[in-house]
Amino acid sequence: MRALILDGTLRPGDHVPQDDIAEELGISRIPVREALVALEREGWLSIEVHRGAFVGAIDEQFVRDHYDLFGTLYGFAARKAAANADADDLDAIAALERELAACGDAEAAATLAFDFHAAVVTASRSARLRLLLRAMSNLVPGNLFADVPGTLAIEQRGQAAIVRALRVGDGERAAAEYATTMRNIGDQVVGLLCSRGILSRET
């Protein structure tokens, strides 16, 4: 359903056709309703009693806030990792960054990027942070690097800068690089959604 909203099939104000979606997926209405509740929690739609679910207004700030939140949480992880990581942690993080730098395949790159961020979170030694990140979903369904032009290059540059900062124990710099990387990815997503007519640029 998130994909239907992001590709413009479902527009702000549209009624979400629960029965049609359930039939198309070959599932009962129960998991569809559960998905609607999750999407309402994330701000994608609103559920009205006796009327159903309706797509909410998705504006540019909604998208930017999403990536700023990721930048903040991963920045927190980077600060903690700079203080708590051992040599093995740093070597593992750096090895993933090198693999991504040499990777040109979107599917493989998505896996490497996920593993890189997970390794930073592991090095932070923060169980609470892992729970918070697990509760956040990806904004773009599918493969970000395949679907949003320019994001792989941004991720590669960002990871290289984060590793340099972590190698010298500069948690503040690593956090700043995370924030910049996520913000730049958010810019690309905003640009794509605006080009599809799903968002209008803020003035």
Alpha-carbon distance values, 64 to 35, 117, 154, 191, 200 (Å): 23, 19, 16, 11, 13
> Residue 200: what pLDDT?
63
> Residue 12: what pLDDT?
83
DSSP states of 98-126? HHHHT---HHHHHHHHHHHHHHHHHHHT-
Q: Which of 122, 116, 112 is nearest to 143 (CA)?
A: 112
Residues 14-29, mean pLDDT to the nearest whole number:
91
Residue 203 has pLDDT above 60, yes or no: no
Of residues 133 and 142, more confidence is placed in 133
Q: Which of 43, 33, 22 is nearest to 137 (CA)?
A: 43
Residues 6+ away with beta carbon under 8 Å from 13: 54, 55, 57
- Can 2-55 and 60-195 be said to share one CATH topology? no
Structure tokens at 81: 């990792």
Domain range summary for the chain, segments of one domain joined by +: 2-55, 60-195
Q: Is CATH 3.40.50.300 what the domain over 60-195 is classified as, yes or no?
A: no
> Residue 201: what pLDDT?
62
Q: Are 58 and 12 in contact (CB under 8 A)?
A: yes
Average pLDDT of the chain to the nearest whole number: 91
Write down the architecture of domain 2-55 according to CATH: Orthogonal Bundle (1.10)
Q: What is the pLDDT of residues 162-197, one digit of tens each?
A: 999 999 999 999 999 999 999 999 999 999 888 877
Q: Which of 23, 18, 1 is nearest to 10 (CA)?
A: 1
Residue 2 φ then ψ, to 5°? -60, -40
Q: What is the pLDDT of residues 25-67, one digit of tens each?
A: 899 999 999 999 988 887 788 999 889 999 887 788 888 999 9
Percent of the chain with pLDDT over 90: 67
